Amino acid sequence: MHPNALLEMSCELLRAVLKFDAPADGLVSAFFRKNKQLGQRERHALAETTYAVLRQRLLLQHLAQSGSGPMERRLALLAWAGSRDFLRPALSAQEQQWLAEIETIDRSTLAPKLRHNLPDWLAEPLLQRLGEDQFWALASAMNEGAPLDLRVNALKAKREEALLALKTAGITAEPTPFSPWGLRVQGKPALSKQEVFTNGTVEVQDEGSQLLALLLDPKRSEMVVDFCAGAGGKTLALGAAMRNTGRLYAFDVSGHRLEKLKPRLARSGLSNVYPAQISHERDDRIKRLTGKIDRVLVDAPCSGLGTLRRNPDLKWRQTAQAVEELQVKQAAILESAARMLKPGGRLVYATCSLLNAENEVIAEAFSAKHPEFTALPAVEVLERAHVDRAAELCEGAYLRLWPQRQQTDGFFAAVWERRA
């Protein structure tokens, strides 16, 4: 494809994404479905350029002010993730000179906001929580892409066997440092066409998400609920941990998300999973299970700010007001989920948010309101589940994962046991 045509496509994609009226990953996928003629290298250049603009939007908009022509074109030129040599024939002499001048700017001298690329409402609580050094380490990590983590399906293979199968397919991977089920893959191989994936031996799942399933630690033949199952990544991990025995209910208010679980469930070989769409957290299906369930995982709807490496548009689409509204929903869902537990049962509340407001604040309010639930130190629970270096994963009584520290998505989890 001619560089001019590809650059025009990049501008078209940026125009759609920068409206912030829909998730960027969905818009990128739809764009590629519409433009089937694009090769893998061209798709990579377009997607990575788009994500680079989303990650460093404040900086790039600032730098773009000195250029001329349509704003999307200036942003695409500044963030271009493909070959610069390929792009050169599409550039005017003026654009080439402008880009050369931009290269001479010492970005470390720019205002903090232009370096961390976070909105004020998000930067301030994170700086307060982490302190200067860790805040900048986090900001730097958030401007990088996330690694590709896989979970080995324990029903189908041992980790060593999955590693060998990937190697045979020409894919380089290594064991994750904490999860005993995890593998971290180098690069972004086309995994969906590989037999090791299509036969259900491995499933894509961030190491942090795997640790949430290990924290719940379900046993054979138990009754278990994944309360906000979504597309079912944690559901599949829990089902395999139960060795395909017992009953595992996968509840979600979104039928569309649960539909995405179906092909994954078919690959997994699990027959102990029962997906069900519920209308809200007080649905009759939930009430019928009151006091009957051994373990409940509440992976609550949240701002998703722990996933900014994968979903950088979230920092521009979320607001402080949206977080306040989410807190009300999180507390209500946790209340309803807790009622399902039998005496001696375990409850895990988790989010993929970095904010205290969605995490410790919710957990501590629940503990204060429910003396019949005993908070368990996450580090002890993880150690019993054979998680290596568990102490590195916890702050106080809670699991607390940070991209700059553990190279996972940002996650929080609290654990309780219902008193007998």
- H/E stretch holding 72 reads helix 71-79
> Given its phi and psi angles, is residue 55 left (phi above 0), alpha (psi -120 to 50 degrees) or beta?
alpha
Q: Measured between alpha carbons, how far is 254 from 235 in angstroms, rounded to an integer?
A: 15
45 burial type by CB count under 10 A (0-12 exposed, 13-18 middle, 19+ buried) = buried
Pairing of strands 373-376, 411-418: antiparallel
Q: How many residues does the chain have?
A: 420
Closest CA to 137 of 408, 403, 411: 403
Is 332:280 a contact under the CB 8 Å cutoff? Answer: no
Beta strands in 138-200, from DSSP E residues, in sequence order: 148-152, 173-175, 182-185
Residue type at 287?
K
Query: What's the chain's Rg over C-alpha atoms?
Result: 23
User: Can you tell me whether residue 355 is helix, strand or coil?
Assistant: coil
Asked about 302 being catalytic, the answer comes back as no
Closest CA to 289 of 248, 235, 255, 245: 248
Give 110's contacts (C-beta < 8 A, 6+ positions apart): 59, 62
Q: Measured between alpha carbons, how far is 9 from 76 in angstroms, rounded to an integer?
A: 10
Is 305:315 a contact under the CB 8 Å cutoff? Answer: yes
Residue type at 266?
A
Indicate which residue of 11, 228, 352, 394 is catalytic: 352
User: At 183, phi and psi to the nearest 5?
Assistant: -135, 140
Which residues form the catalytic set? Answer: 352
